A and B are shown apart, each in its own frame.
Chain A
């Protein structure tokens, strides 16, 4: 089957400084795709481009099999979108907000929406504008889920929410995904949160996609090595050396990518000793990856 989101050679510019360049991105069917990157790296812009809310200069975007922006209305009918900032009328009550939203979506699941209202402990009589930040976050997720979308596009859906609310919102999301095998595209700078359930990772920095890999490969491939007696230039390494730092007494710390256990033999061939292989978690791997990406190539 084809990808649920497919972006090819996308180019976009806003003002003089911000640019998205040569962006290729693939979200496979059924994936929970974590879209990572520091603030200002272009995550929200990419999402808005993918939904046809912004126009690219050049490039091709396909979502759920249809071209964007040409078929945006047909595509958006099947997409549950939680924008970074709530875009709802603050005067409407929660009940009115639900009724308003339901009118646009033939697929709206009313019993389930009502169950979520209870599960999220929302007061339907409150105007949206008077809700706490956590309650607003819950309403946004509820609206996206109750329309029974094939694709959920979530832009920092838990940013600024307290841990209890984050938990409730993510549980509801995963419950839905289990039922429907929907695809999820979720951006966040809360790396640990994504580590729990994402099976694909894309990393943005400065308007470019730095990497796009299955989560397991990302986590397994990035290691910190303790090395001793290595020559100043390590030629012919079977892995990618991201960083090399001197510790005390001739020992060094290497951060590598694409590591596999069999590669330990390489250190004998350069007359060095590999003393330890340490796993890096997603956040550490992410930080190391950005650090290398930003440093000038030598």
Chain B
């Protein structure tokens, strides 16, 4: 879930961790009631500052994705299907934005991007 954390990215690490978890919850990979690793465990495993993990968990708690129970741990909350769909749509937009900005840097036109998408989908479903 966390294999591609990039400390060099301008996106802060806490936001990267929160985003991975959001995606996993939206995709159903993390089920409601599932326990998340403790702050201590995840910080050691990812070799990040414990405060970074705490901040990621807090952000997701205030967005309603997680519940932090004192002394018991951090758990995935029951998330309405609509808000999971909304989160997936948000991720899709982010992917497209990222692709378009990269295309802009490389001087690839919108038309060429569209043709390439059609081509890829054609190949993928053939």
Residues of A within 8 A of B (CB): 32, 167, 170-172, 174-175, 177-179, 192, 195-199, 216, 219-220, 279, 281-283
Contact = CB atoms under 8 A, between A and B. Distances in A.
A126 to B, nearest CB: 26
Contacts, number: 54
Interface in B17-74: 39-41, 43-52
Contact of A197 (B10, B40, B47): B47
Q: Looking at chain A's contact residues, is the secondary structure mostly helix, strand, loop, or mixed?
A: helix
B49 A174 contact: yes
B47 A170 contact: yes
A282 B8 contact: yes
A171 B13 contact: no
B47 A172 contact: no
A192 B7 contact: yes
A222 to B, nearest CB: 11
A178 B47 contact: no
25 contacts: A32-B49, A174-B43, A174-B44, A174-B47, A174-B49, A174-B50, A177-B43, A177-B50, A178-B39, A178-B43, A178-B44, A178-B50, A179-B40, A195-B7, A195-B8, A196-B13, A196-B46, A197-B47, A197-B52, A199-B49, A219-B10, A220-B10, A281-B7, A281-B9, A282-B8
Interface of B: 7-10, 12-13, 39-41, 43-52
Q: Looking at chain B's contact residues, is the secondary structure mostly helix, strand, loop, or mixed?
A: helix
Contact of B40 (A175, A219, A283): A175
A171 B49 contact: no
B49 A172 contact: no
A195 B45 CA distance: 16
A32 B46 CA distance: 15
Contacts of B40: 175, 178-179
B49 A197 contact: yes
A246 B5 CA distance: 34
B12 A192 contact: no
Contact of B7 (A32, A172, A177, A196): A196
Nearest to A32: B49
Contacts of A175: 40-41, 43-44
Contacts of A198: 49
Nearest to A277: B10
A196 B44 CA distance: 11
